[in-house]
Structure 1
Amino acid sequence: MASFTPLQRLVISVAVLASFVTFLDGTVVTVALPAISRELGGGITTQQWAVDAYLITLSALILLAGSVSDAYGRVLVMRIGLIAFGIASVAVAVAPTPLVLIVARAAQGAAGALLVPSSLALITAVMRGEVQSRAIGVWTAFTTAAQLVGPLLGGLFVDLLSWRFVFLINVLPIGVTLVLLGRLRLPEHERTTQVDWLSGALCAIGLGGVVYALIEQPHQGWGSPVILITAIGGAALLIFFLLRQRRPHPLMPLSLFRVRNFAWGNLSTLFVYAALSLNGFVIGVYLQQGAGLKATEAGLASLPITILMILLSSRVGRLAGKLGPRLFMAAGPLVMAAGALLLLLVSEHFDYWWQVLPAMIVLGIGLSLTVAPLTSAILGSIEESRSGIASAVNNAVSRVAGLLVVAMLSTIVGGTLNLAGFHSATWVTAALFTIGGIVSWIGIRRPVPEAVPEPAEG
Structure 2
Amino acid sequence: MQMTDEVEPTRLLAMNEPAGRRLLATTVLGSGMGFLDGTIANVALPHIGDDLHAELAGLQWVVNGYTLALASLILIGGSLGDRVGRKRVYGWGVAGFAITSVIVALSPTIEVLVFARVLQGVAAALLTPGSLAMLQSSFRKEDRMRAVGAWTGTLGIATAAGPVVGGWLVGIDWRIAFWINVPIAAVVLWLLRTAPESREAGPLHRLDWWAVVLAPITLAGITWALTAWPDTGASTSTVSALAVGIVAGVAFIVVEMREPHPMVPPDLFRSRDFSVINVVTLFVYAALTGSMLFLAIFLQVSAGWTPLEAGAATVPISVLMFFLASRFGSVATKFGARMPMIGGAVVLMVGFAWLALAPDDPSYLTQILPGVVIMGLGLSMLVAPLTGTVLAAVPDGQSGLASGINNAISRTAGLIAVAVLPLLTGLSGTAYRDPIAVGDSYRASMWWCAGVVLAGGLLTAVGLRRASGAAGDARAAT
Q: What TM-score results when the alignment is normalised by the length of structure 1? A: 0.94
Of the three residues 172, 180, 185, the one matched with 2:191 is 180
Say whether the 8 Å CA contact 1:73–1:191 is kept in structure 2.
no
Q: Does 1:411 align with 2:431?
A: no
Distance, in Å, in 2 between the alignment partners of 1:29 and 1:66 is 25
Say whether the 8 Å CA contact 2:87–2:196 is kept in structure 1.
no
**What is the match of residue 142 of structure 1?**
154
Distance, in Å, in 1 between the alignment partners of 2:280 and 2:375 is 17
Q: Does 1:104 align with 2:116?
A: yes
Of the three residues 44, 51, 57, the one matched with 1:39 is 51
User: Structure 2 vs 1, CA of residues 92 and 249 (structure 1 numbering), >3 Å: closer, same or farther?
Assistant: same
Distance, in Å, in 1 between the alignment partners of 2:340 and 2:157 is 19
SS for the counterpart of 2:193 is helix
**What is the match of residue 41 of structure 2?**
29
- TM-superposed deviation, 1:128: 4.9
User: Structure 2 vs 1, CA of residues 186 and 418 (structure 1 numbering), >3 Å: closer, same or farther?
Assistant: closer
Matched ranges for 1:85-104 at <5 A: 85-104=97-116
SS for the counterpart of 2:155 is helix
**Residues paired across the two proteins, number:** 448
Distance, in Å, in 1 between the alignment partners of 2:312 and 2:262 is 43
Coordinate RMSD, CA, aligned: 1.7
Distance, in Å, in 1 between the alignment partners of 2:88 and 2:197 is 12
User: Structure 2 vs 1, CA of residues 191 and 80 (structure 1 numbering), >3 Å: closer, same or farther?
Assistant: farther
Distance, in Å, in 2 between the alignment partners of 1:202 and 1:299 is 37
- TM-superposed deviation, 1:130: 3.4
Structure 1 stretches lacking a partner, 5+ long: 451-458
Of the three residues 234, 237, 241, the one matched with 2:245 is 234
Say whether the 8 Å CA contact 1:130–1:322 is kept in structure 2.
no
1:272-327 deviations in whole A, cap 9, x for unaligned? 00000011000011100111000000001101111111111111111111111100
Distance, in Å, in 2 between the alignment partners of 1:187 and 1:242 is 30
**What is the match of residue 370 of structure 1?**
382
**What is the match of residue 322 of structure 2?**
310
User: Structure 2 vs 1, CA of residues 439 and 145 (structure 1 numbering), >3 Å: closer, same or farther?
Assistant: farther
**What is the match of residue 454 of structure 1?**
none
Q: What TM-score results when the alignment is normalised by the length of structure 2? A: 0.90
SS for the counterpart of 2:324 is helix
**What is the match of residue 455 of structure 1?**
none
User: Structure 2 vs 1, CA of residues 386 and 2 (structure 1 numbering), >3 Å: closer, same or farther?
Assistant: closer
User: Structure 2 vs 1, CA of residues 144 and 398 (structure 1 numbering), >3 Å: closer, same or farther?
Assistant: farther
Distance, in Å, in 2 between the alignment partners of 1:388 and 1:372 is 17
Q: Does 1:298 align with 2:318?
A: no
Q: Does 1:424 align with 2:435?
A: no
**What is the match of residue 81 of structure 2?**
69
Say whether the 8 Å CA contact 1:26–1:147 is kept in structure 2.
no
Q: Does 1:435 align with 2:447?
A: no
**What is the match of residue 361 of structure 1?**
373
Q: Does 1:249 align with 2:261?
A: yes
User: Structure 2 vs 1, CA of residues 298 and 13 (structure 1 numbering), >3 Å: closer, same or farther?
Assistant: same
**What is the match of residue 444 of structure 1?**
464
Say whether the 8 Å CA contact 2:357–2:443 is kept in structure 1.
no
Distance, in Å, in 2 between the alignment partners of 1:115 and 1:165 is 23
Distance, in Å, in 1 between the alignment partners of 2:86 and 2:360 is 50
User: Structure 2 vs 1, CA of residues 198 and 310 (structure 1 numbering), >3 Å: closer, same or farther?
Assistant: same
Say whether the 8 Å CA contact 2:67–2:121 is kept in structure 1.
yes
